[in-house]
Amino acid sequence: MSDIRVAHRYALAAISVAEEMNIVDIVSKDFALVEKMFVDVRDFRIFMKSPVIHTEKKKTVLTNVLRGNVHDFTLKFILLLTSRGREAVLRDVCKEFYHLRDVRRGILNVTARATVTFTDEQRRQLIQQIEQVTKKTVHLNVELDASLQGGFTVQYEDTVWDASVRHQLEILRQRFVEGAI
């Protein structure tokens, strides 16, 4: 089974229990801490993915590091992943947990890429347009990308809006090649 499917199944189980216990926000913060450890601490990444380190040793270290820093449910969940040999997909489980949380709350995470930073008014208008189309609450993340040569792109789920100069030039070039202009 692929890591993505495994991560989805574990995240689904985690969010279901977290919802029953009314601790979704707490588990989200705990997963953010664990994900930050994956990003910031190289040794932690290597430790979690190492097939050489015995499962019981991993569980002991994880318990010592995480106890008192995360909710008991989160710790037990991570130890369960570890005992089943799935600790290497923990970061993917965290990401999938956030995705499931946002879907259940009607939140759409949107990434816009632009050559310059949007003004507050441009952000507001873009968010408003996407919310009208999707009927969801939009969280907008803007990334700077000089390769666009102007304009912007917007991506959410499987949808891409491309209003970049690079894209417009490509369309124009294609029309010239086809002899349409």
**128 and 98 share a domain?**
no
pLDDT at 176: 83
**43 and 118 share a domain?**
no
Final residue before a domain boundary, out of 103, 132, 153: 103
**95 and 126 share a domain?**
no
Can you say how many angstroms the Cα of residue 90 is from the centroid of all Cα atoms in its chain?
13
Alpha helices in 67-154 (DSSP H): 72-83, 90-104, 120-134
Question: In this structure, are strands 151-156 and 159-164 parallel, antiparallel, or unpaired?
Answer: antiparallel
Can you say how many angstroms the Cα of residue 12 is from the centroid of all Cα atoms in its chain?
15
Taking only the tens place, the pLDDT of each residue in 45-87 is: 899 989 899 999 999 999 999 999 999 999 999 999 999 999 9
- As given in the structure block, the two tokens for residue 148 are 């666009």
Domain extent, residue 122, equals 106-178
**22 and 67 share a domain?**
yes
Q: What is the tally of structural domains in the chain?
A: 2
pLDDT at 162: 85
**96 and 122 share a domain?**
no
Final residue before a domain boundary, out of 103, 131, 151: 103
Amino acid type, 80: L
Q: Which range, of 36-40, 154-158, 163-167, averages the lowest pLDDT?
A: 163-167
- Asked if 111 and 154 touch (Cβ cutoff 8 Å), the reply is yes
Final residue before a domain boundary, out of 103, 137, 153: 103
Q: What is the chain's length? A: 181
The model's pTM: 0.77
Please state at what angle helix 90-104 crosses helix 72-83, rounded to 10 degrees: 130
**74 and 113 share a domain?**
no
**123 and 172 share a domain?**
yes
* Separation between Cα atoms, residue 181 and residue 170, nearest integer Å: 14
**98 and 115 share a domain?**
no
* Separation between Cα atoms, residue 180 and residue 166, nearest integer Å: 19
**CATH code of residue 12:** 1.10.520.20
Can you say how many angstroms the Cα of residue 50 is from the centroid of all Cα atoms in its chain?
24
**117 and 92 share a domain?**
no
Number of H helices, E strands in the chain: 8, 4
Q: Residue for token digits 């912007």? A: 152
**22 and 99 share a domain?**
yes
* Separation between Cα atoms, residue 134 and residue 123, nearest integer Å: 16
- As given in the structure block, the two tokens for residue 44 are 């932690």
**75 and 25 share a domain?**
yes
Percentage, residues of the chain above pLDDT 70: 98
